[in-house]
A and B are shown apart, each in its own frame.
Chain A
């Protein structure tokens, strides 16, 4: 295997792994802040118990997000030095801004929040979790602006001497049309994940015991968050599809396995094509739907893979400009499918528990308890689609993946790194999962559940 292929595998593996923790940090930081606010405002100790319970789970998850994030920053330079040289002038800026404006805020205020329970006035302590949550969301903004630039480069010119990208407008990069739809889409999806997390854990407790006083409001909170955020994810996803059709028509065509330009274009429910992505063999379609999705016009023209390939050969020179079509096609569908399932589940949950009802059958609870897999799979397939659908480019239209790797780093070295990180990540996954499950099973501290005893000792967050 070439160093480039190994570097791609490492990037995919470490990014997917990192992104298991990130959306939960983004969404849950806000939800925990919301819970603590509810406690601060109403004095209702149930919210304090929930803040501490979900806060603990949040911290177990947060640690993994932090440590795996360092790998992300380092591997651009380690494995992709040609890419780094090419994009540094543009791409480095949002990365550095992320550090200065977001990471410091996130990490410092998380520290203050964890250790400040007894040391800070209540109001200042509450402000700490909000500032940490804002820092987290801000970091998402910068890194997604950077990624959007790779999908749709703006605000740059090519240096005639070095051939590298030079930033001409930071404003254009930070308000890239791609970023403006990607950021709300990704943040909304992160809230879906956090919502399902709260919902599924609450469901597990509601099934096991009648801890309804505590977990009923949490269940409801989770479900409402999933519904609202799910709706936002769908709306912004729809906007994204339209922008993608304009900016990366090949990705859209691959997502639909649309081999030949069509007007009107039908939406493929199921397409079986040749594995090399050249031809379609059989498909089941909904007429006009793709035209509507891609162009908001039932008869709109959607370009096909073969035509775009031809057009790109004229524009960028000989080469294969098609991404892995089955991968793009299936990840796109799975992303939507898992997302819809999560939404449907939340709606069902709200309906079944309306006005204090409690579904007696264990099937619903069991399914809800496992539902955390849905947003995880949706996020993972979404990133696979976004990044693999952009291939063969790292920076669309400017730099190919094949030109991006580190020229002097051999396959043996990348393989060492990939293997090391895989083993380490595997071990940590087991440890983290066990810790999470233990903490979830134990539930909130007994002292906190016993709402009558305000003086009861409660767990302090400390090492």
Chain B
């Protein structure tokens, strides 16, 4: 296998990691006020992702850095071409990152409500736009002979792309609900469980529609098994969730997300960004990639570094494996409140 193909696979793996992991914290960010009726309940939901979201987001940074290193033209065309959506993603990620850290740092209802809204919008916008962006990449956008994107902003809002966005948005929402069901107990878990149960019949047709449309949009036989696994994953998650098997349900939804990314990448290959102007202008794994020396160096870094990363991220998830309930939430971490030592407010 050529190193360029290997790196195409590595980029796919990084996006799988990003969507499977940040997918659930996007979901939790969107659901915080739905799952929590009072502040303690909201904090129960929030703290399930507390130690994890920042590490999850590094998958995106690494996907970006790896694309820059392994496929400079892909990175350059994608980022300069999808400028405004990516700006929105940036703003959203900034706002939600700050929201996580600052929400509990002042004891005021208005303050917390504000940050809860920031979390909702900051999670929903990227959850939607990543799907729009990926669908556009698969569908093909206007790219000229100089590998430059020549379409505008509205060119990115075609029905297939919008369906892609709605798919990621709803799948991440569901994934987040399954995560909270797995990681909490009591009333928060009940609400998450109930919400997931209601979401399945809505999410599955949307996701199935998008996956089938993907096959039609860019026929690639290798994508068919991935589409089947993605659909099977969602059905299995529904089945397991209905029987209260939270761990299995969450794992199955993770598999579904991973298989969806595989289906998208399989549909693309060997292009990385097909041109709708002319297939002669397609960016492919061979014409967009770095030199074989750079790819060799990066392969060593990935082969030696990734197992270590996986090991400590897994350890981190294991350390925080316990289900959370109100009893785990310390009094508001703001000095004047501490004297009362009351749980929540």
Binding site for B on A (CB under 8 A): 59-60, 62-64, 66-71, 73-74, 76-79, 81-82, 84-85, 87-93, 95-101, 103-105, 107-112, 114-116, 119-120, 159, 166-168, 170, 406-409, 413, 416-417, 420-421, 424, 428, 431-432, 435, 438-439, 442, 445-447, 457, 459-463
Contacts and interface: CB of A to CB of B under 8 A. Distances in A.
A445 B335 contact: yes
B58 A417 contact: no
B209 interface: no
A4 B94 CA distance: 24
Interface in B292-343: 293-294, 297-298, 301-302, 305-306, 309, 312-313, 316, 319-320, 329-331, 333, 335-336, 338-339, 341
A167 B294 contact: yes
A103 B46 contact: no
Given A110-B54, A445-B335, A462-B43, A428 B297 contact: no
Contacts of A85: 72-73, 76, 147
A409 B153 CA distance: 11
Contacts of A59: 101
Contacts of A103: 58, 61-62
Contact of A459 (B54, B98, B338): B338
Contacts of B43: 462-463
B131 to A, nearest CB: 18
A92 B70 contact: yes
Given A70-B61, A74-B90, A96-B69, A463 B100 contact: yes
Contacts of B312: 104-105, 108-109
23 contacts: A70-B93, A74-B79, A78-B86, A81-B79, A88-B69, A89-B69, A92-B69, A92-B72, A92-B75, A97-B65, A101-B305, A108-B58, A108-B309, A111-B50, A112-B316, A116-B319, A119-B319, A170-B294, A409-B83, A420-B87, A424-B91, A435-B106, A463-B43
Contacts of A457: 331, 338, 341
Interface of B: 43, 46-47, 50-55, 57-58, 60-62, 64-66, 68-73, 75-81, 83-84, 86-87, 90-91, 93-95, 97-98, 100-106, 146-150, 290-291, 293-294, 297-298, 301-302, 305-306, 309, 312-313, 316, 319-320, 329-331, 333, 335-336, 338-339, 341
A90 B55 contact: no
A112 B61 contact: no
B52 A99 contact: no
A266 to B, nearest CB: 45
Contacts of B335: 442, 445-446, 459
B54 A66 contact: yes
B87 A417 contact: yes
Contacts, number: 253
Contacts of B291: 89, 159, 166-167
Contact of A428 (B61, B94, B330): B94
A84 B62 CA distance: 16
A68 B106 CA distance: 22
Contact of B94 (A105, A116, A424): A424
Q: Most chain-B Cβ atoms within 10 A of its Cβ — which of A64, A84, A435?
A: A84
